Amino acid sequence: MSTLLKMTWVDSKLFLRNWMASFFTLVFPLLMLFLFGAMYGNEPSALFGGFGGMDVSVPGYIAALIIGTSGFMSLPMELASRREQGVLRRFRASPVHPGILLGSQLLVNVLTSAWGAVLLVIAGVLAFNLRLPENPLMFALGYLVSCVSVFSAGFLLASLLRSASAARAVSMAIFYPMMFLSGGTLPREIMPDYLQRISDFIPLTYVVNLLKGLWFGHGWDLTAVAVLAVICLVCVVVSVRLFRWE
C-alpha cells in the first residue's frame, strides 16, 4: 500500500506538470461554465423542468468535460507515451508490481477528476447560485461508478494504441464527438430529435444520464448502470488480453 501511495504522489505531481492534461481537467470546464453561464444565465426554465441552464449543465460538464477527458484522453495518452519512451518496460523489470503502476494511474485520474468537479461546483454556486445535488453521497458513488467504467475504456485505448501520437489522434477523434453529442456540453433537451437518437448509442451519454439523475434526486438510472457495467467488463477483459508493456 505504501508503494502505491508513493507512486500515486509522484504521478500526481507529473499530472500537474502536464499542462494539457491539467488544463482540460481543471481549467477548461470552468471556462465552459463561465462562457455559457454568461450567455444563458441560470434562470429557471420550463424547458429544463424548472431548473436553470447551469443547473442542468454542470452534471453534464462533470461527466463529459472532467471524467470523459480523463478517461478518453489523459489516461490513454499518458500510458501510450510511457510505453513509447520505454518507461513501462523499465517498470516491468523493476521489483515494483505492474499493478502498482496501473493502480496509481487510476487513482490519480479519479482524484484529479474529483478536484476538477469540486472546483466546478464551487464556481457554479458562487457565480450562478447553482443547485447542489439532492443526495451528495449518492452522487459521489455514481461518480465513482462512472469513473471506473470510463477509465476502463481508457485502459483499453492504451492497450490498443502503441504511440503517443496515435493515442492523441484516436482519443481526440473518439472523444470530441462524444463530448458534444452525449449531452455533456449542450443539454439533450435542446438537441434535434435525430441527434438525441444518435446520442443513445454513445457510451458517454449514459454517464451523463446517470449523474444527472442522481444530481436531481431521480435515483439510479438502471439502464445507464447496466450499460456502464457492460462497458467496464468488456474493456477490462480485452485490456488484460491486449495490454503490452513495450
- Report pLDDT digits (tens) over 184-235: 887 787 788 888 889 899 999 999 999 999 999 899 999 999 999 999 999 9
Label residues 21-52 b or e (16+ Cβ within 10 Å = b): bbebbbebbbebbeebbeeeebeebeebeebb
Alpha-carbon distances, residue 202 vs 68, 183, 228, 243 (angstroms): 12, 10, 11, 24
Residues 140-185 have pLDDT tens digits of 999 999 999 999 999 999 888 888 888 889 999 999 999 989 988 8
Domain count, the chain: 1
Selection from 201, 76, 71, 219 nearest residue 147 by Cα = 71
Contact by Cβ (8 Å): 54, 130: yes
The pTM assigned to this predicted structure is: 0.91
Is 53 buried (19+), middle (13-18) or exposed (0-12) by CB count in 10 A?
buried
pLDDT, tens only, 12-53: 888 888 888 888 888 999 999 999 888 888 888 777 777 888
CB 202 within 8 A of CB 181: yes
The C-alpha atoms of residue 183 and residue 131 are separated, in whole angstroms, by 19
Sign of the C-alpha dihedral computed for residues 196, 200, 205 and 208 taken in this order: positive
Which domain covers residue 111, as residue numbers?
Answer: 2-242
All three cell numbers of 188: 439533450
Position 98 scores a pLDDT of 67
